[in-house]
């Protein structure tokens, strides 16, 4: 997948980094470990290039911010090698 210019301009893992106008919020992910830290995790998708982004809002974590997450990409190499080839 190729990122559009707006997505390419996003600075990942930086608290307070701005997103862009074509990001569509898919809603908030609720998780206990986030609630305990009073952090929020919001999921976005880009209307322009279809990139998936996570935005983590956590006052205690200076690296909380934008993260790319490509859920559309199938896992190419599932980690199922548990020694099945022992024979
Ligand atoms: Zn984009």
Give the count of domains, the chain: 1
Check residues 73 and 70 and name the one with the higher pLDDT.
Answer: 70
* Rg, C-alpha atoms of the chain: 16
Among residues 67, 59, 4, the alpha carbon closest in space to that of 34 is found at: 59
Whether 49 is in a domain gets the answer yes
Distance 11 CA to ligand 1 centre (A): 13
pTM: 0.76
Is there a domain that residue 11 lies in?
no
Expressed as residue numbers, the domain containing 42 is 1-6+20-71
- Cα 12 to ligand 1 centroid, rounded to whole Å: 13
Could you tell me if residue 86 is inside a domain? no
76 in a structural domain: no
24: in domain: yes
Examine residue 87 and state whether it is found in any structural domain, yes or no.
no
Q: Could you read off the pLDDT of 13-50 as tens digits, one per residue?
A: 999 999 999 999 999 999 999 999 999 999 999 999 99
- Tell me how far the alpha carbon of residue 82 lies from the centroid of ligand 1, in angstroms: 38
**CA 20, chain centre distance (Å):** 15
In a domain, 80, yes or no: no
């Amino acid at each position: 997948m190729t990122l559009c210019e707006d997505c390419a301009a996003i600075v990942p893992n930086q608290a307070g980094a701005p997103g862009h106008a074509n990001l569509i919020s898919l809603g908030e992910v609720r998780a206990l470990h986030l609630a305990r830290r009073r952090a929020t995790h919001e999921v976005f998708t880009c209307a322009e290039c279809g990139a998936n982004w996570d935005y983590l809002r956590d006052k205690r974590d200076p690296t909380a911010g934008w993260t790319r997450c490509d859920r559309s990409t199938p896992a190419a190499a599932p980690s199922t090698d548990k020694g099945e080839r022992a024979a």
